[in-house]
Amino acid sequence: MSAGKKFREALKEESPLQIVGTINAYQALQATKVGFKAIYISGGGVANASYGLPDLGMTMIEDVCIDIRRITSICDTPLIVDADTGWGHAFNVARTVKEFIRAGAAGLHLEDQVAAKRCGHRPNKELVSTEEMCDRIRAAVDAKKNLDPDFYIIARTDAHASEGQESAISRAKAYVEAGADAIFAEAIHTLKEYQEFTNAINVPVLANITEFGATPMFTVEELGSVGIAMVLYPLSAFRAMNKAALNVYQELREKGTQEGVLDTMQTRMELYDMLGYHEYEQKMDELFARSK
């Protein structure tokens, strides 16, 4: 079964489908072990964690593919990937789709911002025309045909913040007409507005429940009640990791010992259990025994 097909099956099995951000392969293992049926790579997360850069469109396609491969090589939970604006014109978008599929991704989302994009929850976002975004979507849909027809194409619109709800819904309808499998409505403020999207559009709608942004912390139940099909938590674990790590560094620097923060750390055995360390060790012993 292809990665795209696995994601579509997950979408049927769980409603709304929770999709959690996994900043690296180890987090992908953690999310899978907890029971999540779909995982995610954030473009902002790649920029922040892998390159120490802000989410301002400074990373490129191969930067993202490196992290995709790391995750999909160790974890078969379907992975949705943030493709920003697709890294260029229609041919670039097509290449993005093909490279993501080859790297093992199950789907992606493309957004309707200009190439010099901003975080979806920051002011002064600029959008391309509806026609240009539709060209991106058509290129993406065409590119997946011979590699993974089930590869999932999500069209993200940032129009709510800069053009208003009516324009955002109008754009979303056009994106569906262009072939998008689903709509990612960014920076929405109310459940009523989500309901307006789901009433107007005949494909699944994704809600981005990111912390410290424009969208309130709606629950899965609340979002399901207005027809949302997917709920995304792009950087929740990453933010927690960052806070915990900084606390450890400060403790070490100020007190000269980590003893006071041991209770915030994962133990060695917990790490080994997550990685299946002992299974690897047993296999190594078997191989060495045969060579003697």
pLDDT (tens place) for every residue of the chain, 292 residues total: 999 999 999 999 999 999 999 999 999 999 999 999 999 999 999 999 999 999 888 899 999 999 999 999 999 999 999 999 999 989 999 999 999 999 999 999 999 887 555 655 555 567 899 999 999 999 999 999 999 999 999 999 999 988 999 999 999 999 999 999 999 999 899 999 999 999 999 999 999 999 998 899 999 999 999 999 999 999 999 999 999 999 999 999 999 999 999 999 999 999 999 999 899 889 888 888 765 5
Token pair belonging to 41: 């790579």
Q: Do 278 and 227 share a structural domain?
A: no
As beta bridge partners, residue 274 has: none
Active site residue 24: no
Which pLDDT score, from 0 to 100, does residue 13 have? 97
Q: Are 107 and 156 in contact (CB under 8 A)?
A: no
252 within a domain of the structure (yes/no): no
**3-state class of 239 per DSSP?**
helix
Burial class (CB in 10 A: 0-12, 13-18, 19+), 23: buried
Catalytic residue among 24, 48, 75, 84: 84
Catalytic residue among 14, 48, 67, 82: 82
Q: Angle at the Cα of 25 (from 23 to 26), degrees rounded to 5?
A: 90
247 within a domain of the structure (yes/no): no
Token pair belonging to 13: 């099995």
Q: Give the DSSP H/E element, type plus range, for residue 50.
A: none
Which pLDDT score, from 0 to 100, does residue 271 have? 94
Q: Do 266 and 237 share a structural domain?
A: no
Q: Do 279 and 213 share a structural domain?
A: no
177 within a domain of the structure (yes/no): yes
Catalytic residue among 48, 148, 152, 208: 208
As beta bridge partners, residue 81 has: 41, 108
283 within a domain of the structure (yes/no): yes
Active site residue 208: yes
Q: Give the DSSP H/E element, type plus range, for residue 175.
A: helix 165-177
Catalytic residue among 109, 121, 136, 138: 109
Sign of torsion, CA 193 156 169 205? negative
Q: Do 268 and 233 share a structural domain?
A: no
CATH number at residue 51: 3.20.20.60
Token pair belonging to 117: 């994009």
Active site residue 84: yes
191 within a domain of the structure (yes/no): yes
Q: Do 232 and 271 share a structural domain?
A: no
Q: Do 279 and 158 share a structural domain?
A: no
Q: Do 148 and 11 share a structural domain?
A: yes
Active site residue 109: yes
Active site residue 186: yes
Q: Do 273 and 180 share a structural domain?
A: no
251 within a domain of the structure (yes/no): no
Instruction: Give the contacts of 209 (CB within 8 A, at least 6 positions apart).
Output: 215, 217, 218, 223, 231, 232, 233
Catalytic residue among 14, 67, 99, 111: 111
Domains: count for the chain = 2
Instruction: Give the contacts of 9 (CB within 8 A, at least 6 positions apart).
Output: 1
Catalytic residue among 99, 148, 158, 186: 186
Active site residue 134: no
Q: Do 196 and 111 share a structural domain?
A: yes
* Numbered residues of the known binding site for substrate: 42-44, 119-120, 156, 186, 208-210, 239, 268
89 within a domain of the structure (yes/no): yes
Q: Do 270 and 222 share a structural domain?
A: no
248 within a domain of the structure (yes/no): no
Q: Do 167 and 100 share a structural domain?
A: yes
Active site residue 156: yes
Question: Which residues span the domain enclosing 188?
Answer: 3-241
Q: Are 56 and 10 in contact (CB under 8 A)?
A: no
* Numbered residues of the known binding site: 42-44, 82, 84, 119-120, 156, 186, 208-210, 239, 268
Q: Is the pTM of this model over 0.75?
A: yes
**3-state class of 79 per DSSP?**
strand
Q: Do 218 and 135 share a structural domain?
A: yes
Token pair belonging to 246: 């900084």
Active site residue 171: no
